[in-house]
Structure 1
Amino acid sequence: MNQFVFLKPEFPEIYEEAYKAFRLAYPDPRTACFYARRALELTVNWLYKHDNSLNLPYQDNLSALIHEPTFKTLVGQAVFNKARIIIKLGNQAVHSSKPISINDATIAVQELFHVTYWLAHTYGRSSQPDPKLTFDPNVLPKTAPVPKQTIEQLQKLETQLQERDEKLSTLLADKNALDEELKQLRASIAAVKKANTSQPDPHDYSEAQTRDIFIDLLLKEVGWPLDQPRDREFEVTGMPNSSEQGFVDYVLWGDDGKPLGLVEAKRTRNDPLEGN
């Protein structure tokens, strides 16, 4: 079952790239991560082109676009963090020779699912995704009719797509010069957005899971493999609670088997000195 079909009626270009990521997660994880980032890039570009609440940053690369304060306010922390994960995995796929696992690709596709669900829920004009829709990794196709892509092939494709894409900085440099059709479209979309966001969004964006995934990626990036059970949720005693027991989110072990560091995952709105 294609889990991105809800995009097809109103966001066909994004759908095409998301579907490529979806069908390649198992047979070609590296390329799946590339297309997940590509679908995110198209999503972000769509938002900047059509939502007049966004301010274009000085640079229009993907990282700069998602870190622009008006963008972060628009999408919220959960969707923003998912975008960061997709970008990080996509960049690793294209610019690093390190292996990209099926799990990496599944995470990229999963996070893309949530981002594009938010897009369709917020801006869908004729239809919105079913609120009960959830991501199911078990339906990811296990085979594909196309051969795996090499890093060199993906880098070449990346360059070709960048050359082809419409430059946001050129399109939106002068909002006063926007053509009348785009102005009318923006006004229409603003009305749709207002109506859609006036209703509660019951979708579970799995914020806690996303936070843990991002920490995993950061730690692995600097050399901590996190491939042992003791690396996560390590039980400790002497905690200030009735049972005097608790768990450390991450333990970073030295070669001598002794802990070098502890990492606690917290919501950004929580005081880091608070206990679990």
Structure 2
Amino acid sequence: MSYSAASNFGFLQPDWPDLLAEARRAEAAAHADPRTACFYARRTLELAVAWLYRAEGGRGGSLRMPYKADLSAFLFEPSFQQLVGPAVHAKMDVIRRLGNKAVHDVRSVPAQDALAALRELFHVAFWLAQHYARRVGDRPAAGLQFRADLLPLPASTAVAQEQAASRAAQATAREALAKQAQALAERDAALREAAARHAELDAELARYRAEIAAAKAANAAQPATEHDYHEAATRDLFIDLLLKEAGWALDQKRDREFEVQGMPNGQGKGFVDYVLWSGEIPLAIVEAKRSRRSAKEGEQQARLYADCLERSTGHRPVIYGTNGYEHWVWDDTTSPPRPVQGFHTRDELELMHQRRTTRKPLARLPIAASIVERHYQQRAIRRIAETFERDQHRKALVVMATGAGKTRTVIALVDLLMRAGWAKRVLFLADRVALVNQAVNAFKAHLPDAAPVNLVTDRATEGRVYVSTYPTMMGLINEGAGSGQRRFGVGHFDLIVVDEAHRSIYQKYRAIFSYFDALLVGLTATPKDEIDR
């Protein structure tokens, strides 16, 4: 079926005219106002995801509603990730991140960000139409690809350049988009709540879902030839986004494809995909594998690159591996490889290097008797320390009866880890504001030097111990710092304490525990045999 050449997204017209309207807004702004283009690309994605939850959710559907009705929660609901697959999910997350950056970043948005967002949105829309078009004839042709030449040029290049050069205009545009995003989010939330109240009783919705299921089955029965989703380009774009969110500008030639000598490959040289520098010190390397291969396949090659850099600079870098969907980090001088959700900042990597020589053995340091004096509290702390230090595990669970002093026990543990150089910043999570207030008061009483911060009431203050409810922290994870860099990156905390750690908390808020690269201690009064391991 042929569509108008005025848009890359014309194939959406038969079944998704509302998505087409938003996508065309994004296309129209691509050259003239990249910030607005990224915003509307994210907006189009948000509507597409909401459509999928209506079509595939409800009683008997394949999608489960997440803990919170926002785009990030929708995307990272495990049932949704399974539905769309890793390649399409990565594209969706790129669009989300670029849209968030456009709304919150005070710096100007480059035109290549808008082009990247639209290109990834095209592939997402293509996937949607291929799987859910009501008529097989309405599916886009397999060979269809995104065409940048279809994007309209601004009416006046001079005017566009003048706008781009004006900081005041940029700030005004960003503030206007932020207000618009808030208004649209509030409207969509109200519509979702209204739909949810009537969803299970609405026969029309049931017929609609049956029709969608039939269309999906018909499309599956007549698969199109393989479409090129440009996964390698998405992988590179996603890795760049994650690195820039962690503060790595990647603006030096040596940051990418850095040549090293001494490789045992016959030629004696190799090229490191990314090197993260602090002056002349290589803090970390990133080995990027193909999207369809495991992120850990490059482990040995990355280690050889690290050997070469250590010989030439005298410093051994931390090793990252990624395929764009999965990421792992490995400081092979101190610990085994572990999965991560992104990259550490320069300060965090410098601290990681420093700890190789300054971190003290936990077993040799005394526990503060002024905080905990009971023998079972001190035994619990020693056992956690053994778990982290000797066993090299990163998770521990403390089971204590109510009133046995769990909070004071964990405060003494924090004190021990800080004195030993194992922890610089700590996050304490509770499920109620009253428990947050109690924890803050306890830290102030027993460990005042830690400068405890109540993130529920004071989100801007800096300290060493942060106390928060789960929903507050979920919101803060997605917030930028106004410079494109996240305030709370994956390596911001060295230890996370989970109060009342039980199955429902983990299932609802596991995104927090997966996101941060930190030691994890759970506190519970639940009998051991009832804990879901």
Q: Structure 1 residue 142 and structure 2 residue 147: aligned?
A: no
Distance (Å, rounded) in 1 between the aligned partners of 2:197 and 2:266:
60
Matched with 2:142 is: 131
Distance (Å, rounded) in 1 between the aligned partners of 2:271 and 2:133:
43
- 1:187 is matched with which residue: 200, 205, 210? 210
Q: If the length of structure 1 is used for normalisation, what is the TM-score? A: 0.91
- 1:96 is matched with which residue: 105, 112, 128? 105
Q: Which amino acid aligns with 2:17?
A: P
Distance (Å, rounded) in 2 between the aligned partners of 1:189 and 1:261:
48
Q: Structure 1 residue 76 and structure 2 residue 90: aligned?
A: no
> Contact conserved, 1:23 with 1:144, CA < 8 A, in 2?
no
Distance (Å, rounded) in 2 between the aligned partners of 1:31 and 1:241:
48
Alignment of 1:139-218 (within 5 A): 139-143=150-154, 150-165=173-188, 167-172=191-196, 176-177=200-201, 179-198=202-221, 199-200=223-224, 202-218=226-242
Matched with 1:62 is: 71
* Cα RMSD after superposing both structures: 2.2
Matched with 1:260 is: 283
CA-CA distance at 1:50 after TM superposition: 1.1
Q: Which amino acid aligns with 1:232?
A: R
CA-CA distance at 1:138 after TM superposition: 3.3
SS at 2:266 equivalent: coil
Distance (Å, rounded) in 2 between the aligned partners of 1:170 and 1:248:
53
- 2:32 is matched with which residue: 9, 27, 32? 27
Q: Where does structure 1 lack aligned partners over 5 or more consecutive residues?
A: none
1:49-91 per-residue CA deviation (whole Å, 9 max, x = no partner) reads 1123211112111000010111111111011011111111111
Distance (Å, rounded) in 2 between the aligned partners of 1:168 and 1:196:
28
Distance (Å, rounded) in 2 between the aligned partners of 1:170 and 1:64:
19
> Contact conserved, 2:142 with 2:224, CA < 8 A, in 1?
no
1:115-171 per-residue CA deviation (whole Å, 9 max, x = no partner) reads 111011110112101111111223322215998771111112112212322543552
Distance (Å, rounded) in 2 between the aligned partners of 1:168 and 1:254:
47
Matched with 1:227 is: 251
Q: Structure 1 residue 86 and structure 2 residue 102: aligned?
A: no
Deviates more, 1:187-196 or 1:111-120: 187-196
> Contact conserved, 2:19 with 2:44, CA < 8 A, in 1?
yes
**Cα distance 1:176–1:217, how it changes in 2: closer, same or farther (>3 A)?**
same
Distance (Å, rounded) in 2 between the aligned partners of 1:227 and 1:239:
26
- 1:239 is matched with which residue: 222, 242, 263? 263
Distance (Å, rounded) in 1 between the aligned partners of 2:219 and 2:96:
27
Matched with 1:109 is: 118
- 1:250 is matched with which residue: 267, 270, 274? 274
Distance (Å, rounded) in 2 between the aligned partners of 1:169 and 1:59:
12
Deviates more, 1:231-240 or 1:58-67: 231-240
CA-CA distance at 1:23 after TM superposition: 1.7
**Higher RCO structure, 1 or 2 (CA under 8 Å, sep 6+):** 1
Q: Which amino acid aligns with 1:97?
A: V
Give the structure with higher Rg (CA): 2
Deviates more, 1:260-269 or 1:79-88: 260-269
SS at 1:195 equivalent: helix
Distance (Å, rounded) in 1 between the aligned partners of 2:126 and 2:155:
25
Distance (Å, rounded) in 2 between the aligned partners of 1:32 and 1:19:
9
Matched with 2:526 is: none
SS at 2:288 equivalent: coil
Matched with 2:52 is: 47
Deviates more, 1:103-112 or 1:258-267: 258-267
- The aligned length equals 274
Matched with 1:11 is: 16
Identical positions, percent: 49
Q: If the length of structure 2 is used for normalisation, what is the TM-score? A: 0.49
1:20-55 per-residue CA deviation (whole Å, 9 max, x = no partner) reads 111211110000000000000000000001123211
